[in-house]
Structure 1
Amino acid sequence: MISKKNFGDYSRTHISDVPANTASEEALYFKQTIPKFPEEAVYIYSFKLNKMIFAAGWEEVLGYRDDEINMLAIVNMSAPDFAPFSHDLNDKALKFIHGKTKDLEKYSFTIELKKIHKEGHEVPIMARVGVYSSEEGKITSIIGRFQVNRSLIFGKVMRYAAYGPEKEKFEEELNKALFYHFAISNKEKEALALVAKGYSFKEIAHELSVSHSAIEKRILPLYKRFDLKSLTHLVSFAYDNNILP
């Protein structure tokens, strides 16, 4: 069994190493009804049953058979430089969503990272995890999609985004929890891209239809997070670390 020692305190109580029975009626139904693109691996994990209930495409993407891949393995196969952040993001996102009771299927998050193939080499992945089903205001299962993306260029800064009815609050909570990681959210990146174009905070606020203080909350914390002293240095840092194209 794969150790849970590196996982967040919250996640370790909700994840198991039980793989899906790919021959089950449920798994065969998912195989027929859930679309999958080339070089994409998909899973559905049931919190209700505490096991994987569907897996497809994993041998093509990361070298594991669909009947052997499990939730612990998926979380644990992140490349060493991405693992701490990936573990914390999974932990904090799951905790946030578990605190919601409405429109649960609309919540998801994405992360760009490298996963370790069964043969040992790194694979650039765009991963998206979201709620697949719920009952009486509680999550019963999640769905994950891992798409190989060879166009990803990685620096030392992790990139992620949050989605859902309370998107702003979701991302804000993740930003607080992940502050001491070298990471940037989609909202922060969006505002920083406009800074790089020479927009003032007031102009950015108008462009994004948010308040001036909302832009300050997105940009100013980046100084401390990346140990920078000015907007000029922040923009330069963003280009050097492939945050901005």
Structure 2
Amino acid sequence: MHPDKLEFGTYSKAFITDVPADLNSQEAMQFKQTIRRFPDEAIYIYSFKENRMLYADGWEELLGYRDDEITMMTIVNITAPEYAPFSNELNDKALMFLHNKTTNLEQYSFTIELKKIHKDGTHVPLISKVGVFASENGQVTTIIGHSQKNESINLGNVMRYAAYGPEKNEFEEELNKHLFRHYAISEKEKEALSLVAQGYSFKEIAARFGVSQSAIEKRIIPMYRRFDVKSLTHLISFAFANHILP
């Protein structure tokens, strides 16, 4: 099923399958030669047109699943329970945003920090990046995912994510709007909060980013309600306590 058939607001299981990649195919072997994989990283390429994995590499080393058995459904289902609702909704809302775009689709991606459950039952901290790999006639047809183990991540109760692309600000703002009810923070919000914690005023931060002071206020002030804090000092303390800031 193509993403435009997805009933957004329910998770994307509506169009993912349990079909693994045929790693002996000419297409998969070509991917093997052209796509670089870093240490402690696993990669997948998934086709919405064919409803299956086209390629997988590195999954046995990362999460214990052979590359010829890992599927998109498995990758979704092994998200640690505390991260699953947010991760699922982030995927949905990102696809919804991209559904309304028709150009430069391959330049869009997003990242999320989370934990996946290894085949042996242990939890593995990851930084996962999902991007558009290919499109046809202004529609996303194939996505690529990179998941890299990062033991240095200090994951607290707050989900951390970032959006990238030609309209990055619009992309991230759209995600923020839909994901507000979650304990989550975007990279843009984190950047602004980090400068606040260093003692910069909203006006100084605005000048640094080349935006208006009200734009910075709109990044910071909504976090009061989201994280149930009463002041800027309280927000900064909360950020350090939950490993949002180093």
TM-score class, shorter? over 0.9
Asked if 1:140 is matched to 2:141, the reply is: yes
Tell me which residue corresponds to 2:46.
45
Query: What's the TM-score once normalised by structure 1's chain length?
Result: 0.95
Distance (Å, rounded) in 2 between the aligned partners of 1:76 and 1:210: 40
Shift of 1:13: 2.6
Tell me which residue corresponds to 2:205.
204
Q: Which runs of 5+ in 1 are unaligned?
A: 1-6
Q: Which runs of 5+ in 2 are unaligned?
A: 1-7
Q: Please identify runs of 4+ aligned residues in structure 1 that moved more than 4 A.
A: none
Instruction: Tell me if the contact between 2:11 and 2:89 (Cα under 8 Å) persists in the aligned partners.
Output: no
Q: Deviations over 1:90-131 (max 9, x none)?
A: 111111112210000000000000100010000010000000
SS across alignment from 1:143? strand
Give the 5 Å matches for 1:14-53: 14-53=15-54
Aligned CA RMSD, in angstroms, stands at 1.1
Distance (Å, rounded) in 1 between the aligned partners of 2:16 and 2:93: 14
Distance (Å, rounded) in 1 between the aligned partners of 2:18 and 2:37: 23
Residue type at the aligned position of 1:236: S
Instruction: Tell me if the contact between 2:13 and 2:73 (Cα under 8 Å) persists in the aligned partners.
Output: no
Residue type at the aligned position of 2:174: E
Matched-pair identity in %: 67
Instruction: Tell me if the contact between 1:8 and 1:87 (Cα under 8 Å) persists in the aligned partners.
Output: no
Tell me which residue corresponds to 2:109.
108
* Alignment: residue pair count: 239
Residue type at the aligned position of 2:24: A
Q: Deviations over 1:37-88 (max 9, x none)?
A: 1110000000111111000000000000111111111111111111111111
SS across alignment from 1:175? helix
Distance (Å, rounded) in 2 between the aligned partners of 1:72 and 1:96: 22
Residue type at the aligned position of 2:124: V
Residues 1:10 and 1:154: Cα distance change in structure 2 (over 3 Å): closer
Instruction: Tell me if the contact between 1:11 and 1:94 (Cα under 8 Å) persists in the aligned partners.
Output: no
Tell me which residue corresponds to 1:73.
74
Shift of 1:8: 5.0
Tell me which residue corresponds to 1:3.
none
Distance (Å, rounded) in 2 between the aligned partners of 1:204 and 1:14: 42
Distance (Å, rounded) in 1 between the aligned partners of 2:118 and 2:32: 23
Instruction: Tell me if the contact between 2:160 and 2:185 (Cα under 8 Å) persists in the aligned partners.
Output: yes
Distance (Å, rounded) in 2 between the aligned partners of 1:86 and 1:138: 22
Shift of 1:200: 1.1
